Structure 1
Amino acid sequence: MNKDLLLSKLWEQYMSITPSAKKIHALLEQNGEKIENDHIAIRTFNDMRVNISVLEKPFVNAGYVAKGEYFFESKKLYAKHYEHATDANAPRIFISELELENCSESLQNSVKVLLDTCDQNVFEKEDLVLSGAVWNANSYNAYASLLEESEYAAWMYIYGFRANHFTINVNALLNFKNLEELNTYLKDNNWKMNGSGGEIKGTPEQLLEQSSTLADLCTINFDEGAKEIPSCYYEFALRYPMENGELYQGFIAASADKIFESTDVKLQNLS
């Protein structure tokens, strides 16, 4: 699958459960903006059938190259980011995985059962990253059990393989000189922002500032009844020049750690 088709399919799938992203996109375009994408984030488990080395394949085949790696000890996550080898305008790809060996035996067993019950051929598909939950995710009790230990694992149980978020490149916006102005504009238009660690994560000194909306709520029809579960969110990134004058291309682990929480149901309850 070529790069443009892959990214387009990820966007379509993302919008299907994140209507706020489509509305924010339209709102900014009506304001005269041309939206550029900074990066796309994807989640997975570090099981050898679905780990980063598996999820990266369609991107590597489409011309992406691994650049940086990141560790999130408190959330038991490891991540890598990728940049396109020849297209400087292509969005970065950020793939994270839950380090199962650092989780409880109960959570490890739950994930193993999920993966074991799948048709194993599905893990060989080129479009696995677009496949959503390839297991049976109809138990609210299973979701709640995972949520007690790892919001990340609970989100994966419901939504599976897809873009967790897209990110607007704030540097390319015409009418906002900083992230604070953009956040204010969004809040004035009734969007709720992720306030964990402050609305703006990172500093100019760190060469990257980020903010994000809270995830949309999606109705999931569990065996136990319908429940609203946080789905995906929209992120905003402002990059600063390094000493050589080029914009910083990487990520700040401490900031990304708080961005992850945009899907946390606890923040929904506080907003």
Structure 2
Amino acid sequence: MNNVNTLFSSLWQDYITRLSPSADQVHQLLSSGGDIVNDHIALRTFNLPKVGLSTLAAPFLAIGYKPCDEYEFIAKKLKAQHFEHPDPNAPLVFISELLVEKLSDDAQTIIKSLVEQVPAHYFATRDFLSSGRPWSLSFDQYKVLAKESEYASWLAAHGYGANHFTVYVNQLDGFDEVVDVNQHLRNAGFSINEVGGEVKGSPEVCLEQSSTMADKVIVKFSDGEFEIPGGFYEFAKRYELPNGELYKGFVAASADKIFESTDG
């Protein structure tokens, strides 16, 4: 687990420093002095050569992760896959990629120009997973992408890093239900993603999820600094399958609504 711990520690530091500074406060509000178990992280990319899903998966495969279920989000023009480690204590990894060919010519041109700026050797070490944006982007380009795809504009602006970490509610002290976590955070002034209901999923699909709305963070563009949505914190409760094993996958209908946490 040393390699796993080292990689996730690097991702966590980038996440709370650059993408979701409030996550550290959420962590303190829920921890009661104990450890918080991370259920999974999510990463975003474009489905272009050099930067596609397989590129982001490679560092995880190198430390023992195995590819599992695949998912499709037609309305958001995304495909995704999750990965599991043989050690049940290791977090799950959810990687999605934007189907660039489904976007307008203008959006495709911008995205391809971004990816062309990245040298192939940039992905030679796993450090790129928490490296931020490896290309130059103007705020005007960001706005063009945002009109068409929030996912595209978020990725273009922030580059590589954990879009979110996820509190594993099953292991929390003092909280048994996702709805109770939500209320505790509301009481502390946090906004909860209400799209599709404050709790996505149900015991019937063996997974319940919720999330805060993304932090607003200052990002430097080629033509100035602007405040845009960053990362968010998710909460997940898993239920047993009929065979008695805990469900380890994801529910596409719920994940689709979780993506809305970075709207704004």
Q: Same fold (TM over 0.5)?
A: yes
**How many residues are aligned here?**
262
Which runs of structure 2 are paired with 1:64-213 in the superposition (5 Å)?
Answer: 64-85=65-86, 87-137=87-137, 139-213=138-212
- 1:159: Cα distance to partner? 0.6
Q: What 5-or-longer segments of structure 2 have no aligned partner?
A: none
Whole-Å separation in 1 of the counterparts to 2:256 and 2:84: 21
Does residue 24 of structure 2 align to residue 22 of structure 1? yes
Q: Deviations over 1:127-183 (max 9, x none)?
A: 22222110013x110100000110001001111111110000000012112111111
Q: Is the 8 A contact 2:117 2:134 kept in 1?
A: no
Residues 151, 65 of structure 1: alpha-carbon distance in 2 compared, 3 angstrom cutoff: same
Question: CA RMSD, aligned part only?
Answer: 1.4
- 1:9: Cα distance to partner? 0.4
The letter for the 2-side match of 1:26 is Q
Q: Is the 8 A contact 1:33 1:175 kept in 2?
A: no
Q: Is the 8 A contact 2:15 2:231 kept in 1?
A: yes
Residues 222, 50 of structure 1: alpha-carbon distance in 2 compared, 3 angstrom cutoff: closer
Residues 117, 32 of structure 1: alpha-carbon distance in 2 compared, 3 angstrom cutoff: closer
- 1:252: Cα distance to partner? 0.4
Whole-Å separation in 2 of the counterparts to 1:130 and 1:199: 29
Q: What 5-or-longer segments of structure 1 have no aligned partner?
A: 266-271
The letter for the 2-side match of 1:23 is Q
Whole-Å separation in 2 of the counterparts to 1:33 and 1:200: 25
- 1:46: Cα distance to partner? 0.4
The letter for the 2-side match of 1:261 is E
Task: Report percent identity of matched pairs.
Answer: 48
Whole-Å separation in 2 of the counterparts to 1:175 and 1:32: 11
Does residue 245 of structure 2 align to residue 246 of structure 1? yes
Which runs of structure 2 are paired with 1:20-59 in the superposition (5 Å)?
Answer: 20-29=22-31, 31-59=32-60
Residues 157, 46 of structure 1: alpha-carbon distance in 2 compared, 3 angstrom cutoff: same
- 1:123: Cα distance to partner? 3.5
Q: Deviations over 1:106-142 (max 9, x none)?
A: 21111111111233331434322222110013x1101
The letter for the 2-side match of 1:19 is P
Q: Is the 8 A contact 2:42 2:164 kept in 1?
A: yes
Whole-Å separation in 1 of the counterparts to 2:42 and 2:119: 25
Residue 2 of structure 1: SS of its match in structure 2?
A: helix
Whole-Å separation in 2 of the counterparts to 1:197 and 1:140: 30
Q: Give the structure-2-normalised TM-score.
A: 0.95
Residue of structure 1 in register with 2:7 after alignment: 6
Residue 127 of structure 1: SS of its match in structure 2?
A: helix
